[in-house]
Chains A and B, each alone.
Chain A
Amino acid sequence: MRLESDDLRGLSRRQFLRRGIAVGATAATAPLWWQLLDANAAEPAAKAAAALPDITEFLGQDQVAELLEIALSRGGEFAEAFGEYTVNTSFTLDEQQLKTAQYGVLSGVGIRVIVGDQTGYAYADEFGMPALREAAAVAAAVARQGGGRAAQKFAVSKAAPPFVLARPAPLYASEEEKIAYARRADEAARAFDKRIAQVQCLMQDTARSLLVANSEGLWATDRQFVSRLACIPTAIDGSNRQGGFGFGGGQVEADYYVKTRTPEQIGKDAAEGAVALLAAVDPKAGSYPVIIAPGWGGVLVHECFGHSLEGDGIRKKTSLRAFQFGQKVCSDVVDIWDDGTVPFSRGSFRVDDEGTPSQKNHLVEKGVLKGYLWDRLNAQLTGNRPTGNGRRNSYRDFPIPRMTNTYIAAGTDDPEALIASVKEGLYCKNLAGGSVNPADGNFSFLVREGYQIENGRLGACVKGATLTGNAAEAMLRVVGVGRDLTIEGGTGSCGKDGQSKPVGVGQPTVKFSELTVGGTQA
C-alpha cells in the first residue's frame, strides 16, 4: 500500500495545473471492449454504445431514497448520494512497443451529510445495499442530535446538455484504432528529425456515468467522455537532451483524430518543440515585458485568478479576493469567464458533481471583480447561489468549488502588433504548467519553449524560463489583449486538496508590461 500523504510535507499548499501526464499513472477512458469479447459482433458501433453501463442500472430511486433516509436519521439537514461507474483505458507506446494496455473500472457511491457548516462523508466501492447502508450511517454520524427530516420525492433534472457527442471517442474508436493513433504519432515524431531518439505516446480515455441525488429531491445524471492522445519525444544530440510535448483530445467525437487533429500533427508538434530546444539559449534573469501565446497560456489566468475566486477561500476569507468584490483587480482590457459549457472541452459537463447545471460565469468585467465560483455548501453558507462549480475527483471525495473552463475573453489588439511593440522581452509559446499559493498569491509558470523578442521581432529560442509574480497585482500589468481567443480543452488537469479534475483554460495573445523571469544568465 502506498500511504498517500506526501501532500502533508512542509511546502506551502499549492494548487496547480498540469498539462502533462505522468507516464504510467492512471489513465483515461474506454472503448470497444465488449466488442472484442464477442467475436460475432457484426455492428461494432451499435455494440460499443453499451460499453459504458448507465449508473441507474445499479442504483434505483427506491434504493437511493432508503440511503438518504439513513443519512438523515441522526439529525442531518441535507443528504446526498453520488454514484459513479467509470471505465478507464490507456495504451502506452514506448521504444516503439506497446508497453502497456490498461483497463480499469472505478465504481461506487459516496454519501454526504451536512448539518450547518459541518460535513460527514463516507463511501463504498460497490453498489451492494449492506455496504451502502453502512456508508450512509457513517456519514450520518456527523450530526449528533435530533430526529431525521424527510427527504423530498425525486424530480428528474431537466438540465440541457451543453453539447451532445453522437459517437464519443472513448466508446467508438476501437482498441486497434487507438493503438494505431499512438503508433502514428510516434512515427510522425521520429520522422520529423533524426535526432528524435526516444518517443513515448499515450492514448488514454475515460467514460463516466454519474448520478447525483439529494434530500431536496434532485435526481440528475450525466455521461462524460474524455479522450487524450499525448506524444512525449526526447531529442538527443550528443549530451544535449531536450523533451517535447504534443497532445490532442477533449470530450470529442471518435473522428476527431481523423478530422480535427491527427496523430501526425500531434507527433510533429511535439518533435518540433523538442528539436527547437536543442538550439535554445538560457533565459535572461530579470523583470521585463512578457507576451504569452493564446490557448494553453490561459494557465496564467487559471492560477492568478481562478483559484482565488473559489468559494471556499471566499467564505473563509483565506483568499485575498474575498475583500476585493467590486474593486479593480485587473487592467481595463481584461475580461475573465469561467464557462462549464464550452463545446468539446474536458472541463465541460451537463451537471456538476452536485447536480447543478453547468453555466457561464462572468468573473471580471473590464478589470472589475464581479463574480465568484460557488459550490452548494459555500454558496448556501454565504447567501449565494451555486454556479455549477461543485466538483469532485470521484465518489471517494466530497465536492469542493473548482473551475471548469477559465479564460480571458478576446480583446481588440492585433497579436502581431503586440509582439512588434516590445523592444526587448520574452514571447512564451509553450507553458509546461503553473501553480499558485492562494493565501499569499505567489505564482509561477514554467515556460518550456519561449523566444526572445528583440526590437519587435522573435529571436532565439529560450528554454526553461520560470515566470513569477504576485497575483495581487500581476493582472494589473496586462497592457494588451489580442483578438485571437483560443480555449484549450484537450489536456489540462487541475490539482487542489489532493483532488484532480480535468479543466480547460484559454486566452488570446496577452502582453504584460513586466513579469519576473527566472534564468541562469544574470
Chain B
Amino acid sequence: MSIDAKEYQDLARAAERAVQFAQKTGASAADALVESINEFRADVHAGRLETLKQADRRGLGLRAIVDHRVAIVYTSDFREASLKDLAARAVVLARQSTPDEFADLPAGPLAQTHAEGPLALYDEKVIGLTAAQKIDMALEMEKIALGYDKRIARTDGCTVQTTEGSSHLASSHGGVLSYRGTGMGLFVNPLADDAGGRQQSGSYGSFARSLAAVETPEQVAKEAGRRAVSRIGARSVPTQNVPVILHPDIAGAWLGSFFDAFSGDNIFKNTSYLADRLGAAIASPLVTVIDDGTMPGGVATAPFDGDGLATQRNVLLDQGVCKMFVYDAYWARKAKAKSTGNAVRGYTYVPGIGNRNLYIANGTTPPEEIRKGVDKGFYMVDQGAFGYNETTGAYSYQAAGFWIEGGEIAHPVQEITVASTTLDMLKNVVKVGNDLRFNGTVNSPTLLISEMTISGAGPAGP
C-alpha cells in the first residue's frame, strides 16, 4: 500500500487548509503538521500466526498563535468542516491562554531544507514485502530462536513490523514541507528454562529504515537465543564497589536519559545539572556525544524538525568538553540562542526539544579487550525501567549481567542494583569500545566505568 502521489499532495494540502482556516478565524500565525502512517505488524507464537494488524493512521496537529498566545489542537478527521471547526477551537483556546512574548513561529516562509534522496529515509524494498513474506520472516525467526538451544522451549513475543509514512508541515508565513520514510523492525523474546521453575529471557530486536540495514531473522533469532541461554543460573553477588562494563544497550539507555540535561529549556530554567557547565570538561576525554538529524538512513533522521527548520549534526560533548546545548525555536528565542533543529513534534503532542540520532562516538578498544582488562567487575547487559533521576543525574538501576574474574566471565548475575551519578560516570569512563552500531535512535559502543556501587545479597564484601 504505497502512498500515491495524489494522496501525498492531499495530505500537504490539508496542512495548508488548516493554517488558512486558523488565519481566517483570527490567528496571527499558525502552522500545521500532518502525519500519515501505514502500519503492519505480524506476531507469531508457537509456529503459528497469532495476530495480524494492518491500518492507515493519520492526524493533523495545528498550532495557532493569537497575539503571542498559543493553542495546540489535533484531529484525525480531515473533512473540510472538521478542519474549520478545529481551527476555530484553536483560536478560542489561544485567547484563553496568557501572552508569552517569545511565542511565535520561526520568521519567514518554510524553506527547502535537506534534499530527501541523500538522507535515505525511504526504501521501496520495505514497501514491496507482502504480508505473507513478513509472516514467513516472523515464523522463521521464531523457529531459529526455538532451535538455538534445547533449554529454549517458548517465546514471549516474536514480531515483524513495517511502517511507511509521510510528514507535512505548513506555515502561515508560507510554504509547505513534506517528506516520507519507511521503517522495519524484527523482534523476538525467547525464554530459556532455568533451575527451580525459573526462566531467563533474551529479547533482541533490530530496527532500521531499509530492508538492507535491518538484521535478518536468523541474525536476530541467534542473538536473542544467545542472550537467553547466557543468563541461565544467574545469581546475586555481595554489595561492593567495582569497575562496571556497560553493554551498548545499557550505555545507550543511559545516554538517552542524560540527553535531557543538554536540553535548552532545562538549561534556561536552571533545572539541569549542566546549567553552568558550558565549555567545561565534564567527562573523560574519551567521550564524544553527537546528536545527528542528518545521518543517512538514520531512524531519527529527517530533513526538517518540528518547527520546519533544517535538522543538524550537533556535537554536544567533544572529547569530554561540554560544547553546546540543544534548542527548538521557542527556547532559542527565549535563551538568545539559535535553534539547533531539535524541535520534536507529533500531531497529538506539544512541540518540544528532543533528540535525533543520538550516540557516543566510537572508540578504539575491542570489547573483549575491555573485558580482559577487568580483574574483578560486573558486565551489565540488562536493566529495569526506572533508575535515573532527571533532576540530579543520579543513576541506580536494577541490573542483570555477568560477573568477571581475571578478565573472564565467571557466572551470570541478577537481583542486584548498580549505582553512581551521571557526572561521576562521565568522568570515570576509562575505555570506549570500537563496537558502535546503529540500531534504533540512541546508540553507544561498550563503555568501561572505573567504579560503581553494586548492591546485592548480604552486606558489603571484603
Contact = CB atoms under 8 A, between A and B. Distances in A.
B137 interface: no
B417 interface: yes
B52 A120 contact: yes
A179 interface: yes
A313 to B, nearest CB: 7
Contact of B50 (A92, A117, A141, A441): A117
Interface stretch (B12-20, B65-73, B288-296, B312-320): B65-73
Interface string A457-470: 00000011110111
A472 B398 contact: no
Interface stretch (B107-115, B192-200, B364-372): B192-200
A287 B94 CA distance: 53
B398 A36 contact: no
Interface string B182-225: 01011101010010111111011111010000000000000000
A459 B383 CA distance: 30
A444 B398 contact: yes
User: For chain B, what secondary structure do more than half of its interface residues adopt (helix, strand, loop), or is it mixed?
Assistant: strand
Contacts of A296: none
A439 interface: yes
A318 B72 contact: no
B333 to A, nearest CB: 13
Contacts of A13: 156-157, 189, 201, 203
Interface string B444-462: 0000000001111111100
A103 B455 contact: no
A469 B456 CA distance: 9
A464 B239 contact: no
Given A13-B201, A320-B197, A519-B455, A124 B55 contact: yes
B240 interface: yes
B414 interface: yes
A518 interface: yes
B271 interface: yes
Interface residues of A, number: 105
Nearest to A138: B54
B74 interface: yes
Contact of B387 (A11, A125, A444): A444
B340 interface: no
A9 B186 CA distance: 10
B417 A516 contact: yes
Give the interface centre of B93, B181, B400, B420 by most chain A CB atoms within 10 Å: B93
B382 interface: yes
A3 B203 contact: no
A358 to B, nearest CB: 25
B273 A241 contact: yes
A298 to B, nearest CB: 16
A122 to B, nearest CB: 5
B77 A99 contact: no
A396 interface: yes
A125 B59 contact: yes
Contact of A100 (B37, B350, B415, B454): B350
A26 B350 CA distance: 8
B416 interface: yes
A124 B56 CA distance: 7
A6 B191 CA distance: 21
A242 B386 contact: no
Interface string A192-203: 000001100000
A15 to B, nearest CB: 8
Contact of A122 (B53, B73, B396, B440): B53
Contacts of A416: none
B344 A517 contact: no
Interface stretch (B162-170, B278-286, B426-434): B162-170
Contacts of B53: 120-122, 398
A480 B251 CA distance: 39
B143 interface: no
Contact of B52 (A33, A36, A121, A518): A121
B237 to A, nearest CB: 11
Contacts of A26: 348-349
B73 A104 contact: yes
A14 interface: yes
A104 B75 CA distance: 6
A241 B392 contact: yes
Contacts of A99: 70, 100, 350
A440 B271 contact: no
Nearest to A400: B51
A236 interface: yes
A1 B396 contact: no
Nearest to B389: A464
Interface string B87-126: 0111011101110100000000000000000000000000
B100 A97 contact: yes
A142 B386 contact: no
Given A318-B156, A439-B156, A466-B396, A433 B459 contact: no
Interface in A217-258: 234, 236, 239, 241-243
A1 B415 CA distance: 39
A437 B201 contact: yes
A161 interface: no
A468 B417 contact: yes
B456 A516 contact: yes
A271 interface: no
Interface string B30-49: 00000111000000011011
B269 interface: yes
A326 interface: no
Contacts of B335: none
A108 B76 contact: yes
Contacts of B61: 104
Contacts of B98: 97-98
Contacts of B453: 285, 518-522
Contacts of B253: 11
Contacts of A320: 197-199
A122 B55 CA distance: 5
Interface in A72-106: 88, 92, 95, 97-106
A62 B203 CA distance: 45
B394 interface: yes
B304 to A, nearest CB: 12
B93 to A, nearest CB: 5
B198 A518 contact: no
A464 B394 contact: yes
A287 B207 contact: no
B136 interface: no
B384 interface: yes
Contacts of B96: 36, 98, 101, 175-176, 179
Contacts of A138: 54-55
B92 A37 contact: yes
Interface string A434-448: 110111111111100
Given A36-B92, A444-B387, A516-B415, A123 B183 contact: no
B460 A285 contact: yes
A464 B421 CA distance: 11
Contact of A11 (B71, B203, B420): B203
Contact of A286 (B165, B239, B387, B389): B239
A8 B141 CA distance: 15
23 contacts: A5-B205, A10-B203, A10-B227, A11-B203, A11-B382, A16-B386, A24-B349, A33-B89, A37-B89, A103-B89, A104-B61, A118-B48, A119-B51, A120-B52, A125-B76, A243-B390, A286-B458, A464-B392, A466-B387, A468-B384, A470-B414, A518-B397, A518-B398
Given A13-B189, A287-B239, 4 more contacts: A5-B207, A14-B384, A398-B51, A472-B198
Top 7 A-B pairs, shortest CB-CB distance = A518-B417, A444-B398, A444-B384, A435-B385, A8-B205, A285-B455, A125-B76
Interface of A: 1-14, 16, 18, 23-26, 33, 36-37, 88, 92, 95, 97-108, 117-126, 135, 138, 141-142, 175-176, 179, 197-198, 234, 236, 239, 241-243, 283, 285-287, 313, 316-318, 320, 323, 396, 398, 432-435, 437-446, 463-466, 468-470, 472, 497, 516-522
